[in-house]
């Protein structure tokens, strides 16, 4: 199965800064990658699907890019509500698998 | 607005069978054309897709769990259920139900998700 490696494990930034989160697959998955945001005690929330498409209701400061094996989630001008754990998830190969997450902390 | 809610026992003994139900509101489980899935989250393994079901009863399972799990659907109640047999401590996790984003069969993304229910396997 596809292994997704997320880096860094923790990212400490201040509101207003730019966050760059990485997800790397051990085999090519074309553009079939999503990003979820999860806050404590809540379910994951879909943020980006198919590498670069924002899900419904997601602010424009969230953007995704990449294809093949390397993907990036960028949050420009971080807002206080953006501090959470972010997971990547691939549907390009059977079975679908998730990364272990990047925690975005307030610096 | 589509909402999903998990229910089931929070504590299960090792070697027993665990069953969880997902109740769907704000939309019909049989008319949307989507698959409905289960995902679990544990500190050790992170997020793991368990399986998904279509309203006709077609199912797909993660090969790592296929021998111990089953999923059923009750369209009259707008619910679908997960059963895990011969549970061990490794099955301790928060279990989420969710709707597949796209219409084709799994693998797929999930949105929306239920709030999740914690299941602890312990004697």
Residues from chain A contacting residue B106 (CB–CB below 8 Å): 91, 94-96
Tell me what pLDDT residue B105 has: 85
Which residue in A91, A98, A100 is closest to B108 by CB distance?
A91
Tell me what pLDDT residue A51 has: 97
Q: Is the pLDDT of residue B32 over 90?
A: no
Q: Closest approach of chain B CAs to the CA of A87, in angstroms?
A: 9
pLDDT digits (tens, 9 = 90+) for A25-80: 999 999 999 999 999 999 999 999 999 999 999 999 999 999 999 999 999 999 99
Give the E-state strand segments of chain A in sequence order.
4-7, 10-13, 19-25, 33-38, 45-49, 53-54, 62-67, 70-75, 85-90, 97-98, 102-106
Tell me what pLDDT residue B41 has: 98
Mean of the per-residue pLDDT values of chain B: 95
- Where residue B106 falls among pLDDT bands split at 50, 70, 90? confident
Tell me what pLDDT residue A6 has: 98
Over pLDDT 70: what percentage of chain B? Answer: 100
Q: Is the pLDDT of residue B31 over 80?
A: no
Q: What is the rounded CA–CA span in Å between residue A32 and residue B36?
A: 19
- Where residue B44 falls among pLDDT bands split at 50, 70, 90? confident
A87 touching chain B per CB within 8 A: yes
């Amino acid at each position: 199965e596809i292994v997704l490696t997320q880096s860094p494990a923790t990212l400490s930034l201040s509101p207003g800064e730019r966050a760059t989160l990485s997800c790397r697959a051990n085999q090519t998955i074309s553009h079939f990658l999503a990003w979820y945001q999860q806050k404590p005690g809540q379910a994951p929330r879909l943020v980006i699907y198919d590498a670069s498409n924002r899900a419904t209701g997601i602010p424009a400061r969230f953007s995704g890019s990449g294809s093949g094996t390397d993907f990036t989630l960028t949050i420009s001008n971080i807002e206080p509500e953006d501090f959470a754990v972010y997971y990547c998830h691939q549907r390009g190969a059977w079975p679908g698998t998730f990364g272990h997450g990047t925690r975005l902390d307030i610096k | 607005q589509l909402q999903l809610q998990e229910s089931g026992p929070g504590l299960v003994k090792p070697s027993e069978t665990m069953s969880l139900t997902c109740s769907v509101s704000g939309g019909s489980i049989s008319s949307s054309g989507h698959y409905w899935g289960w995902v679990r989250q544990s500190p050790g393994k992170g997020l793991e897709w368990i399986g998904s079901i279509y309203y006709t009863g077609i199912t797909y399972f993660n090969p790592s769990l296929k021998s111990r799990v089953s999923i059923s659907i009750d369209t009259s109640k707008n619910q679908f259920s997960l059963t895990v047999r011969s549970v061990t401590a490794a099955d301790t996790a928060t279990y989420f139900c969710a709707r597949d984003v796209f219409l084709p069969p799994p693998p797929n993304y999930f949105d929306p998700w239920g709030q999740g229910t914690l299941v602890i396997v312990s004697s």
